[in-house]
Amino acid sequence: MTVLLTILKIIGWIVVILLAAAAALILMILFVPVTYRLAVGMEESFRGRARVSWLFRLISLYADYEDGRIRVFLRICGFKKTLVSEDGQQAGEETKEELEEAGEELIHAVEDKPFIEGLEKALGEESLKHAKEELAELPELFEDAGGEWEADTAVSEDLEADAGLPESGKEAAQAAEEDRPGESGAESRRKSKKKKSKKKRAKKTGIRIRLDGIFSGIRGMEARIRGMIENIRTIAGKVRDLISDQKNQAAFSHLKQEVFRLLKIVKPSHIRVDAQFSAGEPDKTGLLLGALAVFPTVYRERWRIVPDFTGEKPYCTGEAQVEGNIFLFRLAGILFRIVKDKNCRRLYRRIRDAAENI
């Protein structure tokens, strides 16, 4: 019996410790504020840094931007974990240079004779011959498919010059046709005219097919646009019905109050500005300074803004910092009041049903 009571006592202490730890964690989450800080500066280039921390900076999220580089990293109890690290345009330029260098190396490799000779040895004479025959048949296969073969004139002229052929491939083809035994010039001309008419028909057919594809694409796009417009009209009608319904007015009024409370909770507690500016002309600089002086925040936060009436070009340099605290128990209170309100719950159900019916 004594052993059983001891075991129960140990279990009870463990449960109490776990409950106390859970309560401490909940209180810590609710009453330890989440702090945020945003600092931006402008000298020769723009720079900025944002920080969101919790639990006395034991958990912090940082985001930096400077010289076109973006870095986002997480720090937990001193241990740093990089989430995003980009070099912006600089990284793109390096990638472009690497691609250009790789392309130049490939061109030099293809133009190198030992490389070609090694390729011939690796493939063998029969494979090269078979490949050449297939390449020679490509124009005929392309024409049979209803297209028109367009060879590179510079390459064809080089090949014809090396082979001792006439200057034009068409003249060579005509000469070969005229020299065929058993065929007269009239018959060869008739065949060439027939071949040209086939090419023209193939061209017309290809153009007609392309036009049909373009018009069908336009019709499909028009149908999609009409569908989008109808969806927008349907959504706008449902939103208008929800807003105009008298039963939802109480819910909207309550939500408006909670939004203002949320803005008060997340608004910054300190705003510091140390800047120097010029509008390019003394009168414009004075007008801008007068417009800034209208806002009471300038006096309450003691901003340091120095106008430059001698500046010939518009500019603005300096630093600005924004700091604030957010208590999660206040956010939890807003959420609790919204969920507790029956009008807000009814509005949520109506919005959900309207979204399912779209």
pLDDT per position as a tens digit, 286-328 = 999 888 888 877 767 778 889 999 888 999 999 999 999 999 9
Q: What is the mean pLDDT of the chain?
A: 76
User: For residues 219 and 311, is the Cβ–Cβ distance under 8 A?
Assistant: no
Residue 265 in this model has a pLDDT that exceeds 60: yes
User: For residues 47 and 63, is the Cβ–Cβ distance under 8 A?
Assistant: no
**Which token pair is 29?**
């989450």
What digits encode the pLDDT tens for the residues 4-27?
A: 888 988 999 999 999 999 999 898
User: Which of 146, 336, 354 is closest to 239 using CA atoms?
Assistant: 354
How many other C-beta atoms lie within 10 A of the C-beta of residue 278?
21
Residue 195 in this model has a pLDDT that exceeds 50: yes
Note the pLDDT of residue 169. Answer: 46
Residue 162 in this model has a pLDDT that exceeds 80: no
Residue 231 in this model has a pLDDT that exceeds 90: no
Q: Which residues contact 328 (CB under 8 A, 6 or more apart)?
A: 29, 30, 31, 33, 34
Alpha-carbon distances of 109 from 102, 103, 123, 128, 156, rounded to whole Å: 10, 10, 17, 19, 23
pTM of the model: 0.55
**Which token pair is 256?**
């408006």
Residue 142 in this model has a pLDDT that exceeds 50: no
Note the pLDDT of residue 208. Answer: 72
**Which token pair is 3?**
């052993």
The band of 241, judged by pLDDT with boundaries at 50, 70 and 90, is confident
Residue 219 in this model has a pLDDT that exceeds 90: no
Note the pLDDT of residue 339. Answer: 93
User: For residues 41 and 48, is the Cβ–Cβ distance under 8 A?
Assistant: yes
Strands 59-66 and 315-326: unpaired
Q: Give percent of the chain with pLDDT exceeding 90.
A: 28
The alpha carbon of 320 is separated from its chain's Cα centroid by a whole number of angstroms, namely: 29
Note the pLDDT of residue 153. Answer: 41
Residue 115 in this model has a pLDDT that exceeds 90: no
Note the pLDDT of residue 276. Answer: 92
Q: Higher-confidence residue: 38 or 206?
A: 38
The band of 266, judged by pLDDT with boundaries at 50, 70 and 90, is very high
What digits encode the pLDDT tens for the residues 46-101?
A: 899 999 999 888 899 999 998 888 999 999 988 999 998 876 444 444 445 555 55
Note the pLDDT of residue 132. Answer: 52
User: For residues 285 and 307, is the Cβ–Cβ distance under 8 A?
Assistant: yes
